[in-house]
């Protein structure tokens, strides 16, 4: 006992206790023993001007005349001693009875080996002689001079896609995309050959934008396959597909697609300006690009259309919009994207306008229910119970009689639980996702009511809200409405209908001020237009839909003549 008192009095116990807490909660530097930590790693990237190893900013270095200089440059650039998939093949070719040293560079797995071996290396490595006709005039024979560059380009490389480059930056960029490059001694030009052959996912049915009547093809991760699908739908030479790259490290290929004879030139110029003026290291998806080029990144509402369907993309391109494809992403993003676009489904144009307009009306109703139903319930229960019929009021009061918590706790508990079930259903394997959603909701709701944590009518409110959120065709808009639903719940609990009216007024003002690539977000209603050719959210009969959207200010206003059903109205004329 005396020793324990001395131990405590000496402060040793307190000191050891403090050391224990500091070891658990405070960061300490590593001991000299091998204990790795990235926090203390002194390795920092400091770019050196004109440094050959600076891969973040390729120097504007031209290809050398000497093949050994080119070989050494590429070996250092690609770190050939440690990079196992980079192939640098030296060989000798014969032209005009003279031997030339050459090299081929490509990345294993990115190229088609048969094309490289049989249609690139084989013709070059065989002994070839230039044929000269003996019956040519003497002055032609004397003035004609053997040009190795022309000979290689026109005779020895039997490929349909060959590009000449003079800078290493262009050569390396295309090799990284899956091409191979040929460099020959005494020539300061590189021949880049398109021999891409990496594995890619085949075209399949859409996973998210499922429709009953319409195309069953979806974009894939390979950008050239996606542009081909657009070309198959729009069989017109005015479809322009411009390629660019984004990212100082990734050099991600981006394709900007539009109709030259329809799309407004200012819109095309604005899209290209934003895409080409991004100073970032990497870009791996179209979702990242959407966040970088939209007008108001802080707004929760989507300002561009994201779709995995080529037919929907082609429809918007033909209406005068610009589509952007990103290599490695199975989604296209389309500009501009306004509110009515996110409430439309690709199936609308495949149905009669009566059917489509009914579905469009249901989507508007589902949007309002998703956004406001829980907040209206909490406002009525808390502040405006006199609005309910007496029998319904007594039913609600009786159902909440055994619930010890305020209504705000009930509704937040169920809303958060529903969001968790929805998220869990998306993350688990597909066969289990539906099971988790249904069983989880049933069990959780029944258990919550049995435990008197929530009232039965609240389960109905949350279920209706969740079902309506699934009726919104655009995932991004649905997500935005789910976020604002919680804000309206808090406003309804604090101020009742006054809070809801205040929130709607502020939100309407914000949306009215929002633009997407120069187009008002609430167009064509705010600002209103008196033009007879104004496009509405609800569809006209297809044979009366003469004009393209006026807010896009397209070059060609009309998409069909006044009388398009010539078989019906022009008979006998």
pLDDT, tens digit, 9 for 90 and up, residues 408-440:
999 999 899 888 888 887 777 766 666 676 677
Neighbouring residues of 304: CB distance < 8 A, sequence distance ≥ 6:
290, 293, 294, 333, 334, 335, 336, 337, 516
- Alpha carbon distance 462, 484 (integer Å): 15
pLDDT tens, residue by residue, 363-387 = 999 999 999 999 999 999 999 988 8
55 vs 534, residue with greater confidence: 534
* pLDDT of the residue at 131: 43
Residues 379 and 441 in one domain: yes
* pLDDT of the residue at 30: 54
* pLDDT of the residue at 263: 96
- Contact criterion met (CB below 8 Å) for 93 and 102: yes
Residues 186 and 247 in one domain: no
Which of 518, 200, 211 has the alpha carbon at shortest distance from 359? 211
Residue 394: exposed, middle, or buried by beta-carbon count in 10 A (0-12, 13-18, 19+)? exposed
- Contact criterion met (CB below 8 Å) for 231 and 238: no
* Percentage of residues of the chain with pLDDT beyond 90: 53
- Alpha carbon distance 326, 224 (integer Å): 10
Q: Reduce the DSSP state of residue 312 to 3 states and report it.
A: helix
Residues 322 and 369 in one domain: no
Residues 480 and 386 in one domain: yes
Residues 124 and 247 in one domain: no
What stretches of 82-160 show up as alpha helix (H) in DSSP? 113-116, 122-125, 138-143, 148-151
Distances (CA, A) of 233 to 261, 309, 315, 318: 17, 12, 9, 11
- Contact criterion met (CB below 8 Å) for 364 and 262: no
Asked if the structure places residue 51 within a domain, the reply is: no
- Tell me the helix, strand and coil percentages in the chain, rounded to 5: 45, 15, 40
Tokens of 488: 């309206």
Asked if the structure places residue 506 within a domain, the reply is: yes
Residues 181 and 231 in one domain: no
Range 299-330 burial, b when 16+ CB lie within 10 A, else e: eebbbbbbbbbbbbbbbbbbbbbbbbbbbebb
* Residue 35 pLDDT greater than 70, yes or no: no
Which of the listed residues 193, 214, 231 is the one where a domain comes to its end?
Answer: 193
**Strand-pair category, 332-335 with 98-107:** unpaired
Asked if the structure places residue 85 within a domain, the reply is: yes
Q: What angle do CA 207, 212, 214 make, to 5 degrees?
A: 90
* pLDDT of the residue at 136: 42
* Residue 445 pLDDT greater than 70, yes or no: yes
pLDDT tens, residue by residue, 505-524 = 999 999 999 999 999 999 88
* pLDDT of the residue at 389: 87
443 vs 274, residue with greater confidence: 274
Please state at what angle helix 456-470 crosses helix 353-382, rounded to 10 degrees: 150
* pLDDT of the residue at 435: 66
Residues 401 and 468 in one domain: yes
- Look at the chain and report how many structural domains it folds into: 4
**Residue 376: CA count within 13 A, CB half-sphere:** 12
Residues 372 and 510 in one domain: yes
Q: Reduce the DSSP state of residue 209 to 3 states and report it.
A: coil
- Contact criterion met (CB below 8 Å) for 474 and 372: no
Omega of the bond leading into 527 within 30 degrees of 0 (cis) = yes
Q: pTM of the entire structure?
A: 0.84
Asked if the structure places residue 496 within a domain, the reply is: yes
Residues 429 and 333 in one domain: no
Which of the listed residues 337, 372, 407 is the one where a domain comes to its end?
Answer: 337
Residues 156 and 262 in one domain: no
Asked if the structure places residue 161 within a domain, the reply is: yes
Residues 375 and 311 in one domain: no
pLDDT tens, residue by residue, 145-158 = 778 888 888 877 88
Asked if the structure places residue 550 within a domain, the reply is: no
- Alpha carbon distance 182, 343 (integer Å): 51
567 vs 9, residue with greater confidence: 567
Q: Across residues 76-86, what is the average pLDDT?
A: 91
- Backbone dihedral angles phi then psi of residue 294, each to the nearest 5 degrees: -75, 160
Q: Across residues 169-176, what is the average pLDDT?
A: 92
* pLDDT of the residue at 50: 45
Distances (CA, A) of 227 to 238, 293, 343, 368, 525: 14, 21, 26, 37, 34
* Domain enclosing residue 125, as ranges: 67-193
* Residue 52 pLDDT greater than 60, yes or no: no
- Alpha carbon distance 283, 559 (integer Å): 36
Q: Across residues 447-458, what is the average pLDDT?
A: 85
Which of the listed residues 285, 320, 337 is the one where a domain comes to its end?
Answer: 337
- Alpha carbon distance 517, 264 (integer Å): 12
* pLDDT of the residue at 171: 94
Asked if the structure places residue 556 within a domain, the reply is: no
Residues 325 and 236 in one domain: yes
* Residue 54 pLDDT greater than 70, yes or no: no
Asked if the structure places residue 398 within a domain, the reply is: yes
């Amino acid at each position: 006992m005396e020793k324990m008192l001395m131990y405590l009095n000496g402060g040793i116990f307190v000191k050891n206790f403090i050391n224990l807490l500091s070891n658990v909660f405070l960061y300490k530097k590593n001991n000299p023993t091998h204990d790795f930590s990235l926090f203390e790693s002194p390795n920092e990237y400091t770019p050196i001007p004109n440094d050959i190893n600076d891969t973040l900013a390729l120097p504007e270095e031209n290809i050398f005349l000497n093949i050994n200089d080119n070989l050494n440059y590429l070996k250092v650039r690609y770190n050939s001693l440690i990079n196992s998939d980079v192939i640098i093949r030296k060989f000798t070719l014969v032209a005009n009875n003279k031997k030339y040293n050459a090299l081929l560079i490509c990345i294993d797995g990115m190229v088609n080996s048969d094309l490289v071996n049989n249609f690139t290396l084989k013709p070059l490595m065989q002994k070839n002689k230039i044929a000269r006709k003996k019956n040519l005039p003497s002055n032609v024979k004397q003035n004609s001079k053997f040009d190795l560059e022309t000979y290689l380009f026109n005779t020895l490389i039997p490929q349909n896609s060959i590009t000449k480059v003079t800078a290493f930056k262009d050569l390396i960029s295309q090799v990284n995309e899956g091409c191979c490059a040929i460099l020959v001694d005494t020539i300061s030009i590189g021949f880049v050959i398109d021999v891409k052959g990496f594995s890619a996912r085949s075209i399949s049915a859409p996973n998210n934008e499922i429709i009953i009547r319409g195309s069953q093809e979806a974009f894939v991760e390979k950008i050239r396959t996606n542009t081909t699908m657009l070309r198959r739908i729009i069989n017109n030479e005015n479809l322009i597909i411009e390629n660019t790259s984004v990212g100082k490290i990734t050099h991600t290929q981006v394709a900007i697609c539009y109709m030259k004879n329809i799309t407004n030139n200012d819109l095309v110029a604005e899209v290209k300006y934003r895409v080409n003026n991004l100073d970032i290291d990497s870009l791996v998806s179209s979702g990242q690009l959407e966040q970088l080029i939209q007008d108001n990144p802080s707004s929760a509402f989507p300002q561009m259309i994201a779709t995995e369907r080529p037919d929907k993309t082609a429809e918007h391109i033909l209406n005068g919009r610009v589509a952007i494809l990103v290599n490695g992403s199975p989604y296209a993003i389309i500009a501009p994207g306004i509110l009515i676009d996110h409430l439309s489904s690709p199936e609308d144009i495949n149905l009669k306008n009566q059917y489509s307009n009914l579905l469009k009306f249901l989507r508007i109703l589902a949007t309002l229910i998703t956004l406001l139903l829980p907040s209206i319930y909490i406002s009525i229960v808390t502040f405006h119970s006199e609005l309910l019929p007496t029998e319904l009021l007594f039913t609600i009061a009786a159902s909440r009689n055994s619930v010890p918590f305020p209504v705000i706790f009930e509704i937040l508990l169920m809303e958060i639980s529903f969001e968790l079930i929805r998220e869990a259903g998306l993350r688990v394997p597909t066969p289990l996702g539906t099971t988790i959603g249904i069983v989880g909701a049933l069990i959780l709701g029944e258990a919550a009511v049995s435990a008197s944590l929530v009232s039965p009518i609240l389960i109905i409110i949350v279920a209706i809200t969740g079902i309506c959120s699934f009726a919104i065709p655009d995932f991004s808009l649905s997500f935005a409405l789910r976020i604002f639903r919680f804000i309206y719940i808090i406003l309804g609990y604090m101020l009742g209908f006054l809070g809801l009216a205040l929130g709607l007024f502020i939100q309407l003002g914000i949306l009215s001020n929002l633009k997407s690539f120069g187009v008002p977000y609430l167009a064509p209603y705010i600002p209103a237009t008196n033009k007879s050719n104004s496009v509405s959210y609800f569809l006209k009969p297809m044979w009366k839909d003469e004009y393209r959207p006026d807010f896009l200010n397209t070059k060609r206003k009309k998409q069909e003549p006044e009388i398009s059903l010539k078989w019906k109205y022009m008979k006998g004329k």
